[in-house]
A = this chain, B = another copy of it.
Amino acid sequence: MGMIGGGPGAFIGEVHRKAASMDGGIELVAGAFDINPRKSKQMGKQLCLDSKRVYGNYRDMIERELKLPVGERVDFVSITTPNNWHFPIAVDFLQAGFHVMCEKPMTFDVAEARKLHKLVKQKRLVFGLMHNYTGYPMVKLARDMVRQGELGKIRKIVVQYPQGWLATALEQTGQQQASWRTDPKQSGGSGCMGDIGTHAENLAEYISGLKIKEICADLTTFVKGRKLEDDGNCLLRFNNGARGVLHASQISIGEENNLAIWIYGENKSLEWHQEQPNYLYVKEPDGPVQVWRRGNDYVGAKSPAAARATRLPSGHPEAFFEAFANVYRNFADTVRARITRTKPDPLALDFPAVGDGLRGMLFIETLLASTKSKHKWTRMKK
What per-residue 1/0 map shows which CB atoms of A275-291 lie under 8 Å from chain B? Answer: 11110011111111111
Query: Which residues of the partner chain B approach A278 to less than 8 Å between Cβ atoms?
Result: 275
Total chain A interface residues with beta-carbon distance under 8 A: 88
A300 to chain B, nearest CB (A): 11
Say which residue of B24, B222, B264 sits within 8 Å of A253 (CB atoms): B264
- Decide if A158 is an interface residue (CB 8 Å cutoff): yes
Say which residue of B21, B22, B235 sits within 8 Å of A216 (CB atoms): B235
Q: Known interface pairs A233-B235, A235-B218. Does A290 touch B293 (Cβ–Cβ under 8 Å)?
A: no
Stretch at the interface among A92-100, A119-127, A310-318, A353-361: A310-318
Number of copies: 4
Determine if B315 and A275 form an interchain contact, defined as CB atoms under 8 angstroms apart.
Answer: yes
What per-residue 1/0 map shows which CB atoms of A226-241 lie under 8 Å from chain B? Answer: 0000010111010000
A375 to chain B, nearest CB (A): 6
The docked-state distance in angstroms from the alpha carbon of A175 to that of B319 is 27
A236 to chain B, nearest CB (A): 9
- Decide if A42 is an interface residue (CB 8 Å cutoff): no
The docked-state distance in angstroms from the alpha carbon of A244 to that of B234 is 10
- Decide if A90 is an interface residue (CB 8 Å cutoff): no
List A313-338 residues whose CB lies under 8 Å from chain B: 313-322
- Decide if A156 is an interface residue (CB 8 Å cutoff): yes
- Decide if A262 is an interface residue (CB 8 Å cutoff): yes
Determine if B320 and A317 form an interchain contact, defined as CB atoms under 8 angstroms apart.
Answer: yes
Query: Which residues of the partner chain B approach A289 to less than 8 Å between Cβ atoms?
Result: 254, 290-291, 293
Say which residue of B231, B258, B290 sits within 8 Å of A315 (CB atoms): B258
- Decide if A345 is an interface residue (CB 8 Å cutoff): no
The docked-state distance in angstroms from the alpha carbon of A265 to that of B293 is 20
A302 to chain B, nearest CB (A): 10
The docked-state distance in angstroms from the alpha carbon of A21 to that of B32 is 23
What are some 30 contacts across the A-B interface (CB < 8 A)? Answer: A155-B231, A156-B231, A156-B251, A158-B247, A162-B262, A164-B269, A167-B266, A167-B285, A168-B285, A216-B235, A216-B376, A218-B235, A218-B237, A220-B243, A231-B243, A233-B245, A245-B245, A253-B268, A254-B268, A254-B283, A254-B284, A254-B285, A256-B295, A286-B297, A288-B291, A312-B321, A318-B319, A318-B321, A319-B319, A319-B322
Top 8 A-B pairs, shortest CB-CB distance? A254-B283, A256-B315, A257-B315, A317-B319, A319-B319, A288-B290, A289-B291, A256-B314
